[in-house]
Amino acid sequence: MSSSLLTKSALGTLGLGTATAGTVYFGRDLISNREDQKTKSSIRELIKKSKPHKRLISGNTVSDPLWKEAWKRYREENSNRDSDSWALKDWTKPSGSVDGNDNASSHLITACYSKADSEVESEKDPLFVQVLSYCTRDALISDLLKERAPNRTVLTDNSNDNEKWKTPWGLIRVAIINGV
C-alpha cells in the first residue's frame, strides 16, 4: 500500500508540475501580449534614434538651398505620377527635367513639419522613408556640438570673435606638441 501511495504522490506531483508549466507557457501570451503590440513612435523620434547622421530641415524659407533640394527630390520622385504622394495643394506634374533652382513649395515645408510628428511602427513604414527622403539633411558637426553642449557658443569663421578662437587653438597646439 505504501508503494501505491508513493506512486500516487509522484503522479500527482508530476501532473501538477505539467499543469503549471503548461499554464505558464501558454498563458503568458494571454496575459501579456507584448509581442503582438508594436510600439509606435513619432518619425521625429525615430530619426533621432535610428538615423543619428540625419536632421530634419529647419526653417520655412522657400528659397533655402536645403528646401530647394528637397523640393527637387520630391518633384523627381513624383514626376511619373498624375498626383503626388502627399497630395500637396500646389502640385503640378513637372514637364521635362526638374530644375533644382526652383523655390521650394511652402506646402511641402508644412507637410514635412506635420508628418515628422506622425507616429509609425518602424523605419520600414513608407511615410518614414518619404520623410527621411524629403525632409532631412545630413548632420553637421555644429549640430553635434549644439546638442552635446547647448550652453556653449559655436564659433564660425565669420563670427568676428577672434579672442574666443585663441583658447581652443591654444589647446589644440598644446595637444599636438604633447602628442595627444
Do residues 44 and 117 lie in contact, with contact meaning Cβ atoms separated by under 8 Å?
yes
pLDDT in tens, 45-88: 999 999 999 999 999 999 999 999 999 999 999 988 888 999 99
Query: Per-residue pLDDT for 34 more than 70?
Result: no
| DSSP secondary structure, 150-164, as one string | TTSPPP-TTS--HHH
**For residue 175, which phi and psi values (nearest 5 degrees)?**
-65, -40
Cell numbers that stand for 95 in this block: 514637364
Distance CA 48, CA 55 (A): 8
Question: Which residue carries 548632420 as its cell?
Answer: 139
Q: What is the pLDDT of residue 134?
A: 96
Residue 1, pLDDT > 60, answer: no
- Transcribe 64-130 into DSSP letters: -HHHHHHHHHHHHHTTTSSS-TT--TT-----SSPPTTSPPPHHHHHHHHHHHTSEESSTTSHHHHH
**Statement: the pTM of the whole predicted model exceeds 0.85:** no
Per-domain residue ranges of the chain: 1-37, 41-139, 150-177
